């Protein structure tokens, strides 16, 4: 159920990292480049930015998916309250054990 969301999140993280790296390269190297190299760097930055914007515009699908999952979880807990309590307790125990190991 969450695999699509996790993949989209990883893709967005990669896009942001690539965008930041490209911007860093532009800022770092802009004073030592020739006009032709600056033009190429400018085209690369525009391409990365255009791609990242397209991906971020698709993130509305990610928001809708998260809302659908939350609504499904809410209806499940309302129809099975004791199972919801049991799942919550199990998650709490696991988190407690993990925090205690630190």
Q: What is the pLDDT of residues 56-93, one digit of tens each?
A: 766 666 677 778 888 888 888 788 888 878 888 898 89
> Within the chain, where are the H helices?
3-29, 35-57, 59-79, 81-101
On the 0-12 / 13-18 / 19+ scale of CB atoms within 10 A, 72 is exposed
- pTM of structure: 0.40
Write down the domain spans for the chain: 3-101
Band of residue 53 on the pLDDT scale cut at 50, 70, 90: confident
Q: What is the pLDDT of residues 6-51, one digit of tens each?
A: 666 666 677 777 777 777 777 776 667 777 877 787 787 778 777 7
Give the integer Cα–Cα distance in Å for 42 and 92. Answer: 50
């Amino acid at each position: 159920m969450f695999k699509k969301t996790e993949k989209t999140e990883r893709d967005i993280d990669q896009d942001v990292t690539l965008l930041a790296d490209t911007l860093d390269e532009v800022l770092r190297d802009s004073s030592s480049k020739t006009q032709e190299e600056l033009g190429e760097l400018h085209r690369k930055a525009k391409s990365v930015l255009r791609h990242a914007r397209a991906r971020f515009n698709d993130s509305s699908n990610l928001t809708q998916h998260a809302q659908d999952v939350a609504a499904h979880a809410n209806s499940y807990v309302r129809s099975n309250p004791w199972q919801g309590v049991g799942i919550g307790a199990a998650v709490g125990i696991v988190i407690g054990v993990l925090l205690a190991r630190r």
